[in-house]
């Protein structure tokens, strides 16, 4: 399938690129180099994106969006990611808000969507637990009825931006006797609620992005239950489709590949410029072909969403291809840069400012989070090819 953007969509791309050129500090290294150091800039740009209506492009107008096409949203995500611009809101604008539009009550939409649209609130996700990752339905956090609400106890792990978040959406077991997919509910909670404790997890790159969150007798009002009690699994899988269906994985790989190509053109090896060496050119060509195929699949996911479909299998395919590609590209980058690739940021002689090493550290987890690639392959097999479920 060939995707062509409309004149209006290309006009938006040009407007966005012009804004990007003027929005970033001259010495800006790129989002993700140090998430905490970029946080103030992230919030500043998020508010500016919200003012322009770009934070919620594809939302319905009644909820603060511009009712733009899904392909316009793809352009936004692709260009922001390729130029490493902070300010986007993955948890609120991309994941939770569309889920509330499907499963939330009108009261919940009116309460929670406008602050997201204005760029005023940070959300985080409470899905994984110390003993529940890929088998998410085995989670053990409990929510027990308590008056006009629920009392929650349990632990969540790998909670990205939990230390920055104002609110959390999470899953908890509300019927321990039901089959594991049937007794789960989906909740929203203010992070300032008594009993919520956030503990930092520092990753192998020395960065603090993840957290462990503990709930100890945390009271959540019934009004913050999304959907029906014990049917939160359906809410959760809707949100996972929105999480898996972005173009971000592929865009990150394309940007690293472009940086490496520029380095190869400018760097001489024993036999001349790296870019003239046959084996190097062959690797670039292979990875570029994979990147373009993955990009087209991400476009298809967005196009299907624009037609009102829920492209579960296609989103899983996109997630597998994009995360695998990023790992292959960064592996190639470490080989291409040689021993100097091991020099971290802050070292004057580190090629590409140490970015490839950091990217490799980061993307190790990509085939694991948002559902492991093994889980995605099961979805592709059963929902895409009609194969029986494996046991």
pLDDT per residue as tens, the chain (391 positions): 567 889 999 999 999 999 999 998 877 766 555 556 688 899 999 999 999 999 999 888 888 889 898 889 899 999 999 999 999 998 999 899 989 999 999 999 999 999 999 999 999 999 999 988 778 889 999 999 999 999 999 999 999 999 999 999 999 999 999 988 899 999 999 999 999 999 999 887 778 889 999 999 999 999 999 999 999 999 998 877 665 556 889 999 999 999 999 999 999 877 788 999 999 999 999 999 999 999 999 999 888 877 877 788 888 899 999 999 999 999 999 999 999 888 877 777 888 888 899 899 889 988 988 778 898 899 899 988 889 876 5
Per CATH, 124-234 and 245-384 having the same topology is answered: no
Q: What is the CATH number of domain 124-234?
A: 2.40.110.10
Whether 356 contacts 260, CB under 8 Å? yes
Catalytic residues, by residue number, are 243
List the chain domain ranges: 7-88, 124-234, 245-384
pTM of the model: 0.88
Give the CATH architecture of domain 245-384: Up-down Bundle (1.20)
């Amino acid at each position: 399938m060939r995707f062509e953007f409309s004149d209006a969509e290309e006009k938006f791309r040009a407007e966005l690129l012009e804004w990007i050129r003027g929005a970033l500090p001259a010495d800006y290294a790129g989002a993700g180099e140090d998430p905490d150091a970029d946080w103030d800039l992230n919030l500043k740009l998020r508010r500016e994106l919200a003012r322009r209506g770009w934070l919620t492009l594809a939302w319905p107008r009644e909820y603060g969006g511009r009712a733009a096409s899904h392909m316009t949203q793809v352009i936004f995500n692709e260009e922001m990611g390729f130029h490493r611009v902070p300010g986007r809101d993955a948890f609120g604008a991309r994941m939770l808000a569309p889920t509330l539009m499907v499963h939330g009550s009108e009261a919940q939409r009116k309460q929670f969507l406008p602050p997201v649209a204005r760029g005023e609130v940070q959300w985080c996700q409470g899905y994984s637990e110390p003993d529940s990752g890929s088998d998410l339905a085995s989670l053990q956090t409990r929510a027990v009825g308590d008056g006009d609400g629920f009392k929650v106890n349990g632990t969540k792990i790998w909670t990205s931006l939990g230390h920055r978040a104002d609110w959390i959406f999470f899953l908890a077991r509300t019927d321990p006797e039901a089959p594991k997919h049937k007794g789960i509910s989906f909740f929203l909670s203010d992070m300032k609620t008594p009993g919520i404790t956030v503990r930092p997890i520092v990753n192998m790159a020395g960065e603090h992005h993840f957290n462990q969150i503990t709930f100890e007798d945390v009271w959540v009002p019934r009004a913050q239950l999304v959907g029906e009690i014990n049917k939160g699994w359906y809410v959760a899988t809707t949100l996972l489709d929105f999480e898996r269906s972005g173009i971000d994985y592929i865009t990150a790989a394309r940007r690293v590949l472009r940086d490496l190509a520029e380095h190869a053109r400018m760097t001489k090896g024993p036999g001349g410029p790296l870019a003239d060496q046959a084996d190097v050119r062959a690797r670039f060509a292979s990875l570029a072909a994979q990147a373009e195929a993955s990009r087209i699949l991400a476009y298809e996911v967005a196009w299907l969403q624009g037609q009102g479909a829920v492209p579960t299998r296609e989103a899983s395919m996109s997630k597998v291809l994009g995360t695998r590609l990023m790992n292959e590209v960064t592996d190639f980058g470490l080989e291409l840069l040689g021993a100097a690739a091991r020099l971290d940021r802050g070292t004057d002689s580190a090629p590409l400012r140490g970015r490839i090493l950091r990217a490799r550290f980061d993307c190790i987890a990509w085939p694991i989070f948002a559902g492991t690639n093994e889980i995605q392959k099961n979805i592709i097999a059963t929902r895409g090819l009609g194969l029986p479920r494996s046991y």
